[in-house]
Structure 1
Amino acid sequence: MNKVALLVGNDINNISPGISWSDLLHKIKEKYKVSSLENGQKPFPMLYEEIFLNAIREKHINERELKTYISDCVSQINQNEIHQLIRDLSIENIITTNYEFSLEGEIATANTGLIRETTYSVFRKHQIGNTSYWHIHGDCLNPSSINLGYEHYCGQLQKMRDYVVNGTNYNSQTVYKAALIKRLSRKKDTKLQSWIDLFFTQDIHILGLSLDFVEIDLWWLLTYRARNKYYRRSAFIENQLFYYTTKKWYALSKDKMQLLQANDVEIVVIDETNKTKYYKKVLAGIKNRYKLPSKILS
């Protein structure tokens, strides 16, 4: 069995015609009568908090109502051929920051994670055939789980850090209580339970994800893994992480690329400007590296 997983971001959805994040922000501000708010250079999680807090004062909404509206909007995203090609790779674990189910190709009916999380997403999993889809920032079926603001990001990070560093206190008897890092170092109780496990045990290929610096949960996880590998010399961390980008964005984002490399992430630059062709080349490279059975990518 090939120990390989994908981490897929929203950019693959941009191939499909439909609502963009800019469009969505405009619609939200229009709906909740806060159109005067400027996007500017505000990090999205802070802009979301600003929209929400102003909407509370203007319309006395609750957050679930706002997240349900966002959920309904992003559920309209259409599938495209890249979603299908990803499914054709037959990879057992696909991690995504996306809320909708375009990657699955169908709407999942149940969260099959070990814990029935209502807000955070350490264990959130949807099983379709032989593939586990891990929606790490929530999913449209559970609007309260959609991770958008700083409050939610910090809560998610707290849950993640407990799972990795401190250990868990869930009532479930099926979830290991010891911290992940201790279990891995002792080579005990290492059965896959959370998407976080994959970052220490399987090669992960990151595509379609800008990895903005506001993604504090993912940047913390990358940094903690790299510190354990190099500073604490944890020999059990043997997997590789890969980040895919175009030649253009590599040149424009050298600061981010340097940070990724410092955190033990290999940068893979694809010289292709056409978005569809770019992702086909990315997926073909992954297919060939692991000799995965799939349809021909061209």
Structure 2
Amino acid sequence: MKRQVSFVYPMKGPGRPQILLIGNGLEYKSGQRSWEQLVRDLTLPEKREMSGVESLPFPLRYELLSTPSTSPTPMGHEDILQEEKRLAQAMKAMVHRSNPLLEKLPGLRMDHIFTTNYSYCLEQAFFPHRNFGCSRTRSQFRFDLRDRESKAIQTREVQYRLHTGYFFPAGPDTPQGTGLWHIHGESSVPQGIILGHDRYGRLLARIVQCCQNTAQRTSRTNVGKLPFLSWPSLFLFGDVYILGFGFDSCEFDLWWLLRRKQRERNGDGKVYFYDKPPFNTQKKMHHFLLQANGAEVRTAGATDWTDYDTFYAAAIQDIRQTVEQRRT
């Protein structure tokens, strides 16, 4: 059973959505498997000794290492089915437990938290006594905003969840409640995992469509508020705080959305990217690229010698303070 929730915010000024975007960095203390470990799990036996693949962008590396050398063109149904089975098996090895850093997130009073992670570590931080490995639990807290667009939609959004997430109800730390979104898929739905180049491309096509729909809706309103129906539309208009996510150049769906946000004339949301020194030449160029696309790079006072825990604690505190300022 889907929850009936509504996310209505001003497009500009105080009250705009406050959004935290997190990546694998916050699951390190949960003992989560790294992206490299996940790729190794999905690498076919005949390609395990292949050298030079580290230089490839992650989505293309996955396509190379997970595709049989003798794969036909076009690929047969059985080839695709076997790839999906290997991915489903790899998802079973994901860790789903919270950690002290994740447990700080409910206290940030964010309106939404986006994660590129496939695990339910985030949910376990918000729902410590619930098992999100259980489909009944997921159904209890799942929402689907497409219902606002069409009451005729009965099928569940599976492969590309742009309108679907989990809702953490209002409480002392979250007076408005918090939407939890797996923007690149979740482990219980392997066919929706965004990992290879093909699925990144398909996701981007849907993001573009969401943004076009949002543009049409903003052109028809004159009240300054909008019911937000997807995570890309929230990204366009909200203040976005990025922590524990490297924003690698291969994440071309999010780079496109970042640029689209920079050109959004109807909103004034900001993007803050948190990173810890030291910064080599490659890191500095990455920061220049983020800044050229409208993001502000922050270190939260960290130095070359600041350790992992201290940096994340300082970044979370800086986000808390900035959220309070941006709400007024």
What SS is found at the alignment partner of 2:144?
A: coil
Residues 143-189 of structure 1, C-alpha deviations (whole Å, 9 max, x = no match): 11110001100000001111112xxxxxxxxxxxxx21232244368
Structure 1: tracts of 5 or more residues without a match: 166-178, 293-298
What SS is found at the alignment partner of 1:248?
A: coil
Structure 1 ranges of 4+ moved more than 6 A: none
The alignment status of 1:36 with 2:49, answered yes or no, reads: yes
Moved more, 182-191 or 81-90: 182-191
Query: How far apart are 1:56 and its partner, in Å?
Result: 7.9
- Alpha-carbon separation, structure 2, partners of 1:250 and 1:197: 34
The alignment status of 1:162 with 2:198, answered yes or no, reads: no
The alignment status of 1:112 with 2:143, answered yes or no, reads: yes
**Aligned counterpart in structure 1 of residue 167 of structure 2, from 113, 122, 127:** 127
Tell me what 1:181 maps to: 215
- Alpha-carbon separation, structure 2, partners of 1:80 and 1:206: 18
Structure 2: tracts of 5 or more residues without a match: 1-14, 72-77, 147-155, 170-176
Q: Contact 2:42/2:87 (CA < 8 Å) preserved in 1?
A: no
- Alpha-carbon separation, structure 2, partners of 1:54 and 1:36: 14
Query: How far apart are 1:218 and its partner, in Å?
Result: 0.3
What SS is found at the alignment partner of 2:20?
A: strand
- Alpha-carbon separation, structure 2, partners of 1:87 and 1:11: 17
Tell me what 1:295 maps to: none
- Equivalenced residues, count: 271
Query: How far apart are 1:18 and its partner, in Å?
Result: 4.4
Tell me what 1:190 maps to: 226
AA of the residue aligned to 1:109: R
TM-score normalised to the size of structure 1?
A: 0.82
- Alpha-carbon separation, structure 1, partners of 2:257 and 2:281: 25
**Aligned counterpart in structure 2 of residue 70 of structure 1, from 72, 90, 100:** 90
RMSD: 2.5
Q: Contact 1:121/1:138 (CA < 8 Å) preserved in 2?
A: yes
The alignment status of 1:136 with 2:166, answered yes or no, reads: no
Q: Contact 2:114/2:180 (CA < 8 Å) preserved in 1?
A: yes
- Alpha-carbon separation, structure 2, partners of 1:20 and 1:244: 20
What SS is found at the alignment partner of 2:87?
A: helix
Residues 173-220 of structure 1, C-alpha deviations (whole Å, 9 max, x = no match): xxxxxx212322443682011111222222110111111111110000
Q: Contact 1:121/1:156 (CA < 8 Å) preserved in 2?
A: no
- Alpha-carbon separation, structure 2, partners of 1:195 and 1:66: 28
What SS is found at the alignment partner of 2:26?
A: helix
Residues 18-52 of structure 1, C-alpha deviations (whole Å, 9 max, x = no match): 4222223223336x553123332011101111122
AA of the residue aligned to 1:160: I
Q: Contact 2:59/2:196 (CA < 8 Å) preserved in 1?
A: yes
Ranked by relative contact order (alpha carbons within 8 Å, sequence separation 6 or more), the top structure is 2
What SS is found at the alignment partner of 1:103?
A: helix
What SS is found at the alignment partner of 1:62?
A: helix
- Alpha-carbon separation, structure 2, partners of 1:121 and 1:15: 27
AA of the residue aligned to 2:98: Q
- Alpha-carbon separation, structure 2, partners of 1:260 and 1:66: 35
Q: Contact 2:236/2:257 (CA < 8 Å) preserved in 1?
A: no
AA of the residue aligned to 1:153: Y
What SS is found at the alignment partner of 2:101?
A: helix
Tell me what 2:174 maps to: none
- Alpha-carbon separation, structure 2, partners of 1:135 and 1:18: 16
What SS is found at the alignment partner of 1:63?
A: helix
